[in-house]
Structure 1
Amino acid sequence: METVYDFTVKMTDGNEKSMREYEGKILLIVNTASKCGFTPQFEGLQKLYEKYKEQGFVVLGFPCDQFKNQEFSNIDETLQFCQKKYGVTFPMFAKIDVNGEKEHPLYTFLKDQKGGILSKNIKWNFTKFLVDRNGKVVERYSPTTKPSKIEEDIVSILK
Structure 2
Amino acid sequence: MSSVHDFSAKTITGEDKKLADYKGKVLMIVNTASKCGFTPQYEGLQKLYDTYKDQGFEVLGFPSNQFMNQEPGSEQDIQEFCQVNYGVSFPMFSKVDVKGKDAHPLFKHLVKEAPGLLSNQVKWNFTKFLVDQEGRVINRYAPKTNPENMEEDVQKLLSR
TM range (shorter): over 0.9
Residue 73 of structure 1 deviates from its aligned partner by 2.6
2:17 matched to which residue of 1?
17
Are 2:66 and 1:66 equivalent residues in the alignment? yes
Greater CA drift, 31-40 or 70-79 = 70-79
1:142 matched to which residue of 2?
142
The one-letter amino acid of 1:24's match is G
Residue 11 of structure 1 deviates from its aligned partner by 1.3
Residue 101 of structure 1 deviates from its aligned partner by 1.5
Residue 15 of structure 1 deviates from its aligned partner by 2.3
| Residue segments in structure 1 that go unaligned for 5+ positions in a row | none
1:6 matched to which residue of 2?
6
Distance 1:24 1:121 in 2: 27
TM-score, L = length of structure 2: 0.98
1:40 matched to which residue of 2?
40
Distance 1:79 1:118 in 2: 32
Are 2:80 and 1:86 equivalent residues in the alignment? no
Greater CA drift, 10-19 or 78-87 = 10-19
Distance 2:149 2:60 in 1: 18
Instruction: Give CA deviations for 1:37-79 in whole Å, capped at 9, x if unaligned.
Output: 0000000000000000000000000000000000133110000
Distance 1:158 1:13 in 2: 29
Residue 14 of structure 1 deviates from its aligned partner by 2.2
2:54 matched to which residue of 1?
54
Among all aligned residue pairs of Structure 1 and Structure 2, give the percentage whose two residues are the same amino acid.
55
2:120 matched to which residue of 1?
120
The one-letter amino acid of 1:123's match is K
The one-letter amino acid of 1:42's match is Y
| Residue segments in structure 2 that go unaligned for 5+ positions in a row | none
Residue 12 of structure 1 deviates from its aligned partner by 1.7
Distance 1:12 1:143 in 2: 22
The one-letter amino acid of 2:88's match is V
Distance 2:73 2:151 in 1: 32
Q: Tell me the secondary structure at the aligned position of residue 149 of structure 1.
A: helix
Q: Tell me the secondary structure at the aligned position of residue 139 of structure 1.
A: strand
RMSD after superposition: 0.6
Residue 13 of structure 1 deviates from its aligned partner by 2.5
| Matched residue count | 159
Residue 118 of structure 1 deviates from its aligned partner by 1.7
Distance 1:86 1:2 in 2: 33
